[in-house]
Amino acid sequence: MSVDASIHAPVSRVWKAATDKDEIKQYFFGTDVTTTWEPGSPITFSGEYEGKRYEEKGVILQVEKEKMLSYSYLASGWEDKPDNYNTIVYELEDEGNGYTNLKVTQSNIRDQQTADHCVDNWKMVLEGLKKVAEA
pLDDT per residue as tens, the chain (135 positions): 999 999 999 999 999 999 999 999 999 999 999 999 999 999 999 999 889 999 999 999 999 999 999 999 998 888 999 999 999 999 999 999 999 999 999 999 988 999 999 999 999 999 999 999 999
| Global pTM value | 0.94
Q: Within 13 Å of residue 38, how many CA atoms lie on the same side as its CB? A: 2
CA distance 98 to 69: 21
pLDDT at res. 110: 86
Separation between Cα atoms, residue 89 and residue 18, nearest integer Å: 11
Q: Measured in Å, how far apart are the chain's first and last C-alpha atoms?
A: 28
Number of domains within the chain: 1
The pLDDT of residue 120 is 95
Range of the domain at 120: 2-134
Give CA–CA dist 25/125, Å, rounded. Answer: 10
Secondary structure of residue 6 in the 3-state scheme: strand
Where do the H-state alpha helices sit in 1-80?
A: 11-19, 21-27
* CATH number of domain containing 125: 3.30.530.20
Helix (H, G, I), strand (E, B) or coil at 125: helix
pLDDT value at position 50? 85
- CA atoms of 66 and 72, how far apart (whole Å): 19
